[in-house]
Chains A and B, each alone.
Chain A
Amino acid sequence: ETGVTQTPRHLVMGMTNKKSLKCEQHLGHNAMYWYKQSAKKPLELMFVYNFKEQTENNSVPSRFSPECPNSSHLFLHLHTLQPEDSALYLCASSQDRGQGSNIQYFGAGTRLSVL
């Protein structure tokens, strides 16, 4: 039990579908993150939220839309995805942002396949 829960664990969607990934952290943290893990590539930071405010967007295409209604929940809304978006999407949380020393705790990820 890592304290960070992601649902669903697996998702298959067509290019015209709309779906959402959910992340919930039970650690009392203030910062939450979305990462993309593709085969043979390093983990890529997508978005950062701190106290529900988005603080970083790493040039992510608009077909990915994050939402953070409170410090415990983070969503990633998906629409009109491409096959190259197939990957493992990892959520993480940390006590605070702003310093690289904040330890990030990861969920198990959602394995997304876009057909």
Chain B
Amino acid sequence: AQSVTQPDIHITVSEGASLELRCNYSYGATPYLFWYVQSPGQGLQLLLKYFSGDTLVQGIKGFEAEFKRSQSSFNLRKPSVHWSDAAEYFCAVGDSGGGADGLTFGKGTHLIIQP
């Protein structure tokens, strides 16, 4: 069974500083990978996805993520965070084998932005 680990429950970053959120997955083949963001009182919004090809993917709001097969990781990065980036971030895996329909999510990382 696939699984996703987000090792950091909370991360605090100063506004304007760079950000990296970690995500490790467990899956037998090349997975489909997603990052979602959830603002307070809102649903999940897709930031970016990786299916195949270039391992560095660009998303919305200036985010990017890099797929590293050797490390089973899909870390999310942003060069300069804004106060509006404060939210909960979820990494998720989709079944590339077509066996399951839903996504498997990590527990999330709560991002706090310091002024």
Contact = CB atoms under 8 A, between A and B. Distances in A.
A100 B43 contact: no
Q: Which residue among B32, B44, B102, B104 has the maximum number of chain A CB atoms within 10 Å of its CB?
A: B102
B103 to A, nearest CB: 6
Interface stretch (A14-22, A65-73, A105-113): A105-113
Contacts of A106: 36, 43-45
Contacts of B51: 101
A101 B98 CA distance: 9
Interface residues of B, number: 29
Contact of B107 (A41, A104, A108): A41
Contacts of B34: 103
Interface of A: 2, 4, 6, 31, 33, 35, 40-43, 45, 48, 50, 55-56, 58, 90, 92, 97-109
3 closest A-B pairs by beta carbon, nearest first, are A100-B94, A45-B102, A106-B43
Given A33-B101, A56-B100, A56-B102, A109 B43 contact: yes
Given A41-B107, A42-B4, A100-B32, A108 B100 contact: no
Contacts of A45: 101-104
B103 A100 contact: yes
